[in-house]
Amino acid sequence: MRSKLILFTTLFFSFLTVYSQSDNGEKVYTKLIKVNNKIYMLQGKGGNIGLSFGSDGVFMIDDQFAESIEQIQKDIQTISKKPVQFLVNTHFHGDHTGGNAILAQTGTIIFSQENVRTRLMGMIAEEKKKIPQEILPIVTFSEDLTFHYNGEKIYVFHIHDAHTDGDAMVYFTSSNVLHTGDVFFNGKYPFIDTENGGSLTGCIKGLEKAMMVINEDTKIIPGHGDVGSYKDLQKTVEMLSTVYKRVTMNYINKKSEEEVAKMTDLTKEYDDNGYGGGFISTEAFLRMVYSEVAKERGDIESNAEKNRKAREKVEKMQEQANQNKKKNKE
């Protein structure tokens, strides 16, 4: 009987699914998943939350939407009654920063890459909807940041122009757990916010950088999806690189965006593995890749044209100089 009770308790805390109701009566479902002894992943309506529990307090990564934060706080208290002392936003999107203001009011200190604060300030200035000033991170960094908290070194580093222009990943060095933010969607096609500084090549480079920081035993909390592994990260890099090359060849062969968007053979092996079943459909993903390729190739072609005109100008100048020398000799 005692062994059964221990087993039940372990399972309960390793995988806890609960729900509450938001102010508008909508049910808020959350799922608390144990990654290791100190680190948990909390899934809900928005992006995946990372949580570090220890003697110092609670260290949090992202906080989903404002409507979910009450339930999220209840989930946290099932593990620790200590307050959330530090919060890191991996980027500015609302499904990762929506709970900022409420947490700030309880004393949580919010950190982010500096472009996150800039983007959030832009949203406040637009005043499309009332956004409280407390949503803003109060500590920002350019490239990286290190915490010494809950008995381990926590390394936060900037990923340039990937999902957005303000992405950060968080690596718990002792626990060997990496939170990638939305640079990594595990097993699904990613959303790359090209209107806010994101790029396909930036995503590939960012994931490659992450693979240099971690190792094959690292557990990975993605921005969306289930807990992943080093191999899952490799698969995503391979998928992004392969589709990018295939779309580039079709662009060079003068295929239009409409034609490429319907070419199911370009992504067949990934669609067969469920990559198109997430937030971003196969067609939307192909259109995004095509747009990125068109922009890059356009820059290349524009530079090539500028170089061609420059060469022609130099050749004409040389020809004119030769003609002038010939006239002077006569």
pLDDT at residue 9, as a whole number: 36
Spans in the chain with pLDDT lower than 70? 1-28, 128, 299-317, 319-330
Closest CA to 143 of 172, 113, 163: 113
Return d(Cα 319, Cα 317) in angstroms, integer.
5
Amino acid letter for position 128: K
**Sheet with 49-53: strands ordered across:** 15-21, 27-34, 39-43, 49-53, 58-61, 84-89, 109-113, 139-141
pLDDT at residue 14, as a whole number: 38
pLDDT at residue 314, as a whole number: 53
pTM confidence score:
0.84
Closest CA to 63 of 92, 83, 34: 92
Model pLDDT for residues 46-102, shown as the tens digit of each residue:
999 999 999 999 999 999 999 999 999 999 999 999 999 999 999 999 999 999 999
Domains parsed from the chain with CATH numbers? 2-309 (3.60.15.10)
pLDDT at residue 272, as a whole number: 97
- The distance in angstroms from the start CA to the end CA of the chain is 114
pLDDT at residue 216, as a whole number: 97
Measured in whole angstroms, the distance separating CA 262 from the mean position of its chain's CA atoms is 27
pLDDT at residue 297, as a whole number: 82
Kindly tell me the burial class for residue 136, based on how many C-beta atoms sit within 10 Å of its own C-beta (0-12, 13-18, 19 or more).
buried
